[in-house]
């Protein structure tokens, strides 16, 4: 029986791991789940494990609240120790966080094959910590599961065709998760009834490039406040953003709620008029649930959404944001375009691992 070490640590990774974990189980693959502890609050971590029935982590390193270097370094040390004890057949990492990089690096240095899920994505913005994590993780991975054709092309441009690695376009595991859990969310979430809203915009802000630049954050909040004059804006606030807003006395007039669990998030996405976000995952989820999206960044890794008119980039410009709201709210699009695979992304990963 194959034995896989899965490394997770941050919210988007719980969603991705949920989809893959289910398929590993279905195909009889033994999974050892390691939580680095990067996200640890009940509503940033526990709720995902409970709702999505992700197996309880076998190990929790409880590493959080540190600078990038300290966090990655301590994770590297912790994961290496576990790998030396458990000697898995491969290590699987997701996306682009410090947990992704630490997991991949720890494994590769002791010659354990690395599987990167959501490989090949690029923003081409080297100021983003996530971009650095992605590039390094891809370069030291042995099997690269790419969600899109653009991701495949990015790797080709970087010469990956010449490397002895497996590159597989399997689609997006977040799409698998969104469709699978949507049915459960419809039965279990009461967020719309709690908020008493049927006509609203859903917004999220948490990217370091927006939260750590106070000017930018001011502009974004001003832009959202202006939209909130016309239609309620629901803002489930990431703890980092909440902390900075309160420290800097920036006042939002939007409907601020605590970060929600995945089921509530799905219902918010399905029920809203439009999505405004700087999240990678939420840009795609807007598309999965047939909503247009305004992205609070200068660039995106999910370029196919912009190319096809489902998404528009406004950076941190409040006037552009307000104008984009007016354009996007009128827009009619056909969301049936297949951009992210046929819903078997996670199963393809499990089948590939079975053959290792």
Taking CB under 6 A as the rule, does residue 203 contact ligand UDP?
no
Q: What binding mask, one character per residue, do residues 293-332 give for ligand UDP by CB under 6 A, x or -?
A: ----------------------------------------
Is 243 in the active site?
no
Structure tokens at 131: 């971009």
Find the shortest distance in angstroms from Cβ 277 to ligand UDP: 7
Looking at the Cβ atoms of 14 and 160, the one nearer to ligand UDP is 14
DSSP-derived 3-state class of residue 4:
strand
Taking CB under 6 A as the rule, does residue 22 contact ligand UDP?
no
Find the shortest distance in angstroms from Cβ 341 to ligand UDP: 16
The answer to whether 233 touches 227, Cβ cutoff 8 Å, is yes
DSSP string, 194-226: HHT-SS-EEEE---HHHHS-HHHHHHHHHHHHH
Phi-psi bin for 315: left (phi > 0), alpha (psi -120 to 50), beta?
A: left
Q: How far apart are CA 90 and CA 238, in angstroms?
A: 32
Taking CB under 6 A as the rule, does residue 128 contact ligand UDP?
no
Among residues 285, 304, 318, 347, the one that binds ligand UDP under rule CB under 6 A: 285
Q: Which residue stretch of 82-90, 105-113, 215-223, 273-281 sits at the interface with ligand UDP (rule: CB under 6 A)?
A: 273-281
Find the shortest distance in angstroms from Cβ 65 to ligand UDP: 16
Find the shortest distance in angstroms from Cβ 64 to ligand UDP: 14
Among residues 282, 294, 296, 316, the one that binds ligand UDP under rule CB under 6 A: 282
Taking CB under 6 A as the rule, does residue 201 contact ligand UDP?
no
Looking at the Cβ atoms of 27 and 188, the one nearer to ligand UDP is 188
Taking CB under 6 A as the rule, does residue 20 contact ligand UDP?
no
Phi-psi bin for 124: left (phi > 0), alpha (psi -120 to 50), beta?
A: left
Taking CB under 6 A as the rule, does residue 9 contact ligand UDP?
no
Taking CB under 6 A as the rule, does residue 204 contact ligand UDP?
yes
Taking CB under 6 A as the rule, does residue 270 contact ligand UDP?
no
Nearest to residue 139, comparing CAs of 116, 112, 172, 118?
116
Nearest to residue 106, comparing CAs of 63, 132, 141, 135?
141
What's the length of the chain? 356
Phi and psi at 115, nearest 5°, equal -110, 120
Q: How large is the angle between the packed helices 98-109 and 129-139, nearest 10 degrees?
A: 20
Looking at the Cβ atoms of 82 and 98, the one nearer to ligand UDP is 98
Looking at the Cβ atoms of 37 and 280, the one nearer to ligand UDP is 280
Q: How far apart are CA 291 and CA 272, in angstroms?
A: 8
DSSP letter (8 states) at residue 161: G
Residues of this chain, 227-266, that bind ligand UDP according to CB under 6 A: 236, 259-262, 265
The answer to whether 94 touches 16, Cβ cutoff 8 Å, is yes
Catalytic residue among 59, 116, 206, 238: 206
Instruction: List 117's β-bridge partners, or say none.
Output: 94, 145
Find the shortest distance in angstroms from Cβ 50 to ligand UDP: 13
The answer to whether 31 touches 57, Cβ cutoff 8 Å, is no
Taking CB under 6 A as the rule, does residue 281 contact ligand UDP?
yes
Looking at the Cβ atoms of 283 and 348, the one nearer to ligand UDP is 283
DSSP-derived 3-state class of residue 278:
coil
Please give the positions annotated as active site.
Answer: 206
Contacting residues toward ligand UDP, per CB under 6 A: 11-12, 15, 204, 206, 236, 259-262, 265, 279-282, 285
């Amino acid at each position: 029986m194959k034995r896989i070490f899965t490394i997770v640590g941050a919210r988007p990774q719980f969603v991705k791991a949920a989809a893959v974990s289910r398929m590993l189980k279905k195909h009889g693959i033994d999974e050892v789940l390691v939580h680095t502890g990067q996200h640890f609050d009940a509503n940033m971590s526990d709720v995902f494990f409970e709702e999505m029935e992700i197996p309880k982590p076998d190990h929790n390193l409880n590493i959080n609240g540190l600078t990038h270097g300290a966090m990655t370094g301590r994770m590297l040390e912790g994961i290496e120790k576990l790998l030396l004890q458990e000697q898995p057949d491969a290590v699987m990492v997701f996306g682009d966080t410090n947990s992704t990089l630490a997991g991949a690096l720890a494994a590769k240095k002791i010659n354990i094959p690395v599987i990167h899920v959501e490989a090949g994505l690029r923003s081409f913005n080297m100021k983003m910590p996530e971009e650095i994590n992605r590039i390094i993780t891809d370069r030291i991975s042995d099997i690269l599961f790419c969600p899109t054709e653009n991701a495949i092309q990015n790797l080709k441009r970087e010469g990956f065709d010449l490397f002895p690695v497996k590159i597989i376009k399997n689609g997006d595991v977040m799409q698998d998760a969104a469709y699978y859990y949507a049915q459960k969310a419809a039965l279990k979430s009461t967020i719309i009834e709690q908020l008493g809203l049927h006509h609203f915009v859903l917004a999220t802000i948490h990217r370091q490039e927006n939260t750590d630049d106070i000017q930018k954050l001011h502009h974004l909040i001003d832009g959202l406040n202006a939209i909130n004059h016309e239609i309620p804006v629901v803002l489930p606030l990431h703890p980092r953003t909440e902390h900075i807003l309160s420290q800097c006395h920036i006042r939002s007039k939007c409907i601020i709620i605590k970060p929600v669990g995945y089921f509530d998030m799905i219902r918010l996405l399905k029920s809203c008029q439009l999505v405004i976000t700087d999240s990678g995952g939420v840009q795609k989820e807007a598309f999965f649930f047939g909503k247009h999206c305004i992205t609070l960044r200068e660039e995106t890794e999910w370029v196919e959404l912009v190319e096809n008119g489902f998404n528009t980039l406004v950076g941190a410009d409040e006037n552009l944001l307000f104008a984009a709201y007016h354009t996007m709210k009128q827009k009619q699009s056909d969301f049936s375009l297949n951009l992210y695979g046929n819903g078997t992304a996670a199963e393809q990963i499990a089948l590939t691992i079975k053959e290792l």
